[in-house]
Amino acid sequence: MPFHAATRSLVRLLPFAAPLALGACAQGEPRPAPPPEPAAEVIGEARDCLPLNSFSSTEIRDDYTIDFLSAGRRNVWRVTLPNRCSGLRAADTFTYETSLTRLCRNDIIYPLQRIGNGFQRAGGCGLAPFVPVKLEK
């Protein structure tokens, strides 16, 4: 019977196929984020939330790091995302939604990709604590 013959052939190949399939699914250890530029010195305790009126602009350093800057750059809070936010640096802009008057560590940001004359929201990325820093020159 052809069906049984095919089944026996597959059963014989199974011991060789299983390690290959498992190897394809295995991922190595997550890579640590590269150090952002410019370097920064921590000057205070991390905060879980930052009032929206505390910052006037942001600078995206890489796919892991965002600096939130107050008016005149007197205060800077660095957020190092817990995971890589793919496309964040390339987009160089993001959006968020909040019903509060503050942005918090568990809020989600969305890189904005330029598509033609408009923008498209990319996949969301979770924030992390806001760490007050002094940027090195």
Q: 70: buried, middle or exposed (CB in 10 Å: 19+, 13-18, 0-12)?
A: middle
Find, among 107, 83, 67, the residue nearest to 32 by Cα.
83
pTM surpassing 0.85?
no
pLDDT value, residue 37: 86
**Alpha-carbon span 97 to 103, nearest angstrom:** 9
pLDDT value, residue 31: 62
Residues in the chain where the model's pLDDT stays below 50: 1, 3, 6-7, 9-11, 13-14, 16-28
pLDDT value, residue 33: 63
pLDDT value, residue 35: 79
Provide the residue ranges of all domains of the chain, joining segments of one domain with +. 40-135
Helix, strand or coil, per DSSP, at residue 9:
helix
pLDDT value, residue 32: 67
